[in-house]
Structure 1
Amino acid sequence: MNDLDCTPEQKLKGIVSLLRDEAYQWWLAVKEGTQPDRLTWEFFKNTFQSKYVGANYVDACRCEFLNLMQGDRFVAEYEAEFLRLSHYARGMVVSEYEKCIHFEDGLRDNLRVLITPHREHEFTVLVEKEKIAEEVKRAKRQNREMERGKNKRDLEPSSSVPRPKKKARSDGPVRVGAPVASVASTRLQPCSDCGRRHSGKCWRRIRACLRCRSLEHLIRECPQWAD
């Protein structure tokens, strides 16, 4: 309002139109309990400051300013908070150089070391340099991440490499070096006479020769036994 070319009455009317919610209800209550001739621009400023910018609030903002650190903020966000709180600590940062020193002290270590060897005496120049340094570090970090991702993809096996084909499964177990047995014979129960798995009548039961398959003599009488 001090920058506007208007009368005190116009300033008061304009500032009241900007009040919202709780602040507007507060002013209505003040207005009802005050004589109309006392409702001036100076009266509003003093009353508003005692309500919303009291001594406790100012002290809290000064303490917050002294302990302000960049933390996880970007430089632009840290600058905005620094300027907001510096209004309540003007006696602590009288000169532009002191303002730069205090701003640097709150920066992250990886940004402060880039600027500290060359002390700046202009706050705007310091902030711009910090923003540039922050952008450069962010670009380098992104490039490293992209490079790591590329190297990881290069190490992974390509999906275009043909995989070995699986062998077709047989209907039953096949042993290497053993004679191939029919599927039906492997499912037969052992014979109670000879202990072997076979279909039909057992040659031992019908007293046939187990060597030449003849029904005329036993295996011990087989003429091929001498062979």
Structure 2
Amino acid sequence: MAGRGRDDAAIAEALGMLAGVLGGNPNVVGMGAARQLSEFQKNNPPMFKGAYDPDGAQKWLKEIERIFRVTECADNQKVRFGTHMLSEEADDWWVAARTELEAAGNAEITWAGNRSVTEYAAKFTELSKYYTPYDEATGEFSKCVKFENGLRPEIKQAIGYQRIRVFSDLVDCCRIFEQDTKARAESYQQRVDRKGKNQNDRGKPCGQAGHRFHECTSNEKKCFKCGKGGHLAAECRLKTMTCFNCGEVGHISPQCPKPKKENQSGGKVFALSGSETSADDRLIRGTLW
């Protein structure tokens, strides 16, 4: 059962590329459509059910394309006639795909889906070999246009305006854009994660009015020795302060709560008599001999 599931998925992928390879608008009906359909059916086109047959989709597509060439089927009828030959599971797929086309205003289905550019290019190349016009001299142009139309919208928008018409160059440009976009997204997510972590580390706001979050001091570190903010007790300079008045550590003499002590240096106070003052007056005045 697991193997069948993988094969059914491969068939679905091949069907998903069908309209992209054949091209055309499923809702366009040109003049003489009934006559062209009659000519198409005269060649006994095979039905495709989409059942358990991994190679069935590609073989069917190859036979349908052969009949298109023989009957000179108009491009705007290829999808219409080709999908007319789908039944059962394959027809169910087409009904869903057509609904998607109509909802998008008849825009082409994005066949790349969730595939990477490399995966999409590999599948596109594999199925394109059954569409012989791509092998012609002018086929490179159409092949590039068809490949662009199947890209994811963000890649198509960035690459489409460059009008690259060499298939290998187009695939390389799409791959580089995809890789750069992924790298930018990862870099942005890393910045968001770091920013969120930094905000969590800053703590919660205090909830009080009158200041902004970055101005809030509720989470500011404070010293329990001096009660001041901006440092911790281990960093506090207060422990190195010694009072010259009382000899205790933790404050300086102008802040000392104890009574100021008198001068205890033992110095003497000298008094001069009048005659001594007169004799030494020249020294006080700074007279030099």
Q: What's the TM-score once normalised by structure 1's chain length? A: 0.41
The structure that is helix-richer by fraction is 2
Structure with more relative contact order (C-alpha pairs < 8 Å, separation 6 or more): 2
